[in-house]
Amino acid sequence: MEIIPDEIYTTVELKEYEKKGTGKITLEKIKADFLQLCKNIGLPDSTISIDSYEGINDFTGKRRKRKEELYSSIQYQIKFSTSTKMDELVEILDDEATQNFTIVRTSHSKIREFRKQLKIQAVKAAKEKAIYLSEAIDEKIGVAISIIEPAEYNTLQDNNNNYRLGNSANGLINFDQSGKVVDFKKIKLRYSANVVFALK
């Protein structure tokens, strides 16, 4: 079974930076601006979480201030339902504050249901196959003696690509030659079952 993902997990790393004529842009301002941008494009708070945070305490900052300027950073994880919504955010992010934008993995909200459907189809296919194979030797199948579930095989797309911001041509949304939007590679799910039937 091939399904188009509706859960796209990404990480966005934001870091303090120096702005000419203004000085250091603090992480608090960067965080506030970022969360407002997410709100502006309609991303629910439930889809945004802090993945990691690197701060600078006062002692370390004062001790090393003369040697080098230290900058705090934060990394958010965001779950998108479509690549279009993801591209909307990328286009308006602060290029200076954003260090990278990474697609971590993709999945589907109904993947458990799809796996269940595949299991049912696999067992039905096993019975159908048993019927025509047994007929080849003038036998008929009886009751099922056992149903063995092998390890599930599923290939989930893991896009570990870093994208520079404000550049939709970098692959956040791809277009084919006809101009049609090409979305993420489909998730491939595969399931098999070993079913033993009695012959009669």
DSSP tag of 154:
E
Lowest mean pLDDT among 6-20, 57-71, 93-107, 154-168: 154-168
**Residue whose token pair is 């004062």:** 62
For 95-130, how does the pLDDT look when each residue is reduced to its tens digit (9 = 90+)? 899 999 999 999 999 999 999 999 999 999 999 999
What DSSP string runs through 90-144? HHHS-TTTEEEEEEEEEE-TTHHHHHHHHHHHHHHHHHHHHHHHHHTTT--EEEE
pLDDT at 46: 95
Residue 178, pLDDT score: 58
Q: Which of 13-27, 55-69, 97-111, 176-190 has the lowest mean pLDDT?
A: 55-69
Q: Distance between CA atoms of 196 and 142, rounded to whole angstroms? A: 10
Confidence category of residue 138, pLDDT binned at 50, 70, 90: very high
Nearest of 179, 187, 181, 157 to residue 83 by alpha carbon: 181
What is the predicted pLDDT for the residue at 184? Answer: 74
The pLDDT, as a whole number, for residue 83 is: 86
Residue 135 scores a pLDDT above 90: yes
Total residues belonging to the chain: 200
Correct CATH for 2-108+157-173 of 3.30.70, 1.10.287, 3.30.2320, 2.40.50: 3.30.70
| pTM of the shown model | 0.71
- pLDDT tens for 31-85 read 999 999 999 999 999 999 999 888 765 545 454 555 556 889 999 999 999 888 9
pLDDT score at 149: 85
